[in-house]
Amino acid sequence: WANKVAGPSFTQGVAGNQPRVKTSILGGQPVVRFDGNDWLTGSAVLAANDDDYTYIVLWRPTANNIIQTPYEQAGPGNGARASLLAVNAAYGFNGQNNDKHDLVPFSANVWRLSEMEVNNAAGNNIRLYDNARPYVGATSAPGSLAVGTAGSTIGTKQQAIGSECLNGDAAEVLVY
């Protein structure tokens, strides 16, 4: 999966962990289907210690009783990370001991256009728009939202590759 603009390519070298491209799923366009054991990895998109960024993900989770990661940038080690993370029937921001992943309730099998804006200077430092509906909240440590640059992943956690895998479809991921 390669960004249509300048940016990293995301790959998966292990055949058993490769998501499948499904054609004509969303308005006649293809999507990448993750089965809960698939993921893609790539290089970091944001600069080291960036603490003001936006993730936009067009995705459709097919389960809401699991923990799943549509997108994450992190590292190295257990350092700075930021992900769009779903925990059971809600999703939002997840960082290193700095979470607000219970921000947006959701149902399985519904397309979500998720725009997550992270602003280290704001009191309510997480703004998430779910299908254009706004949600705001604060993480437990608003002054600590910087990302690391070990890499980025689609469909799993960067810091624990192969865990908290997406079960569903992803049509687009944009990072600013």
Pair 134, 49: CB distance under 8 Å: no
pTM check: above 0.85: yes
With a cut of 50, say whether residue 77 has pLDDT above it.
yes
Tell me the C-alpha distance between 130 and 98, whole Å. Answer: 21
Please compute the mean of the pLDDT values over residues 147-176 and round it to a whole number: 92
Please compute the mean of the pLDDT values over residues 46-61 and round it to a whole number: 92
